[in-house]
Amino acid sequence: MHPLAANLTRGEHLALRAEYRRLETAEVLPEAGDFEALLTQPRVGVAWARRVAGSRLWLLYRLPEGMVALHDVTVHEPLPIDS
């Protein structure tokens, strides 16, 4: 279980699940509003970032070989690569 999971409200759990479903069913990714973000843990890298609608959460995902791979969920706004 992700360490953040114990601190989420039921509404946040539902919003997170709905947002992940939107990612899985999107025809084209990344969508408008998603941005490339710098990752620093567990190692430096890049992922796409998306705000979970109506919450304080951010989803970080990658697109290996045409599939959606959830990298992390965080309450900290990711650092855009172009900033």
Q: Where are the domains of the chain?
A: 5-80
pLDDT at 6 over 80: no
> Which residues touch 72 (CB under 8 Å, ≥6 apart)?
2, 39, 47, 59, 60
Give the predicted TM-score (pTM) of the model: 0.84
Give mean pLDDT, residues 23-52: 90
Give mean pLDDT, residues 14-43: 90
Instruction: Decide: 50 and 33 in contact? Cβ < 8 Å.
Output: yes
Share of the chain above pLDDT 70, in %: 90
Q: Which of 19-23, 29-33, 79-83 has the lowest mean pLDDT?
A: 79-83
pLDDT at 75 over 80: yes
What is the rounded distance in angstroms from the CA atom of residue 60 to the CA atom of residue 44? 13
Question: Where are the strands (E) in the chain, listed by range?
Answer: 35-39, 45-51, 58-62, 69-74, 79-80
pLDDT at position 83? 58
Mean pLDDT rounded to a whole number for the chain: 87
